[in-house]
Homo-oligomer: A and B are copies of this chain.
């Protein structure tokens, strides 16, 4: 089963990691086009599509973006080939925006392009000014895109000792196990046993 298209896709989805170090190569326009097309087809509540995107390639603007936000230096927006900034055009659009975000990262990864997410946090007003976003719209994060700097760039978020230049601080690495993730039938049921039919 491990060589089926399904297995390839699961491996692809399972393997997504943030990339925080980029090499300077530009990302070809046809790759950007694919990312935008996958983003465009993101599903949303009642198909409201409560978003627009700002595509930033200007180096000065990326530098300026990289100097605002919660984690200056952690996510190198300035080193990215381009930055995509989702603009939330409705209230309560965060859940939908998260779907958009994941698809942008996956579409980039489909082409070997890495992505990381930078939260604007308390610097949202500054980001809005820099990007000329009307106050009525929301900003949460920017997505930096670029080719990974090297083979180890995809490991920085899961093996903290690989690149000690990164200020990962006390961020946990890896993911919690299924035993801490999944409940059956109701919350608190305990994850140890799996009832119910499992017929294939």
Which A residues lie at the B interface, using CB under 8 A? 1, 5-6, 8-10, 12-14, 16-18, 26, 28-30, 32, 34, 36-43, 45-47, 49, 51-58, 61, 87, 92, 94-103, 105-107, 110-112, 117, 119, 130-134, 137, 140-141, 157, 171-173, 175-178, 180-189, 194-200
Q: Is the Cβ of B30 less than 8 Å from the Cβ of A200?
A: yes
Please, which residues of chain B bring their CB within 8 A of the CB of A183? 52-55, 87
Nearest chain B residue, comparing its CB with the CB of A48:
B172
Q: Are B26 and A185 in contact (CB under 8 A)?
A: no
A95 to chain B, nearest CB (A): 4
Query: Is the contact region of chain A dominated by helix, strand, or loop, or is it mixed?
Result: mixed
A-B contact pairs, 13 of them (CB 8 A): A6-B34, A6-B112, A13-B106, A16-B43, A42-B102, A45-B119, A52-B182, A54-B185, A57-B184, A58-B196, A61-B186, A98-B102, A99-B99
| Chain B residues in 8 Å Cβ range of A102 | 42-43, 98-99, 102-103
A57 to B, closest residue via Cβ = B196
Q: Given the complex of chains A and B, what is the CA–CA distance between A177 and B49 in angstroms?
A: 11
**What 10 new A-B contacts, CB under 8 Å, besides A13-B103, A26-B199, A87-B187?**
A6-B111, A42-B102, A52-B182, A54-B184, A55-B182, A95-B98, A98-B98, A98-B101, A106-B106, A133-B187
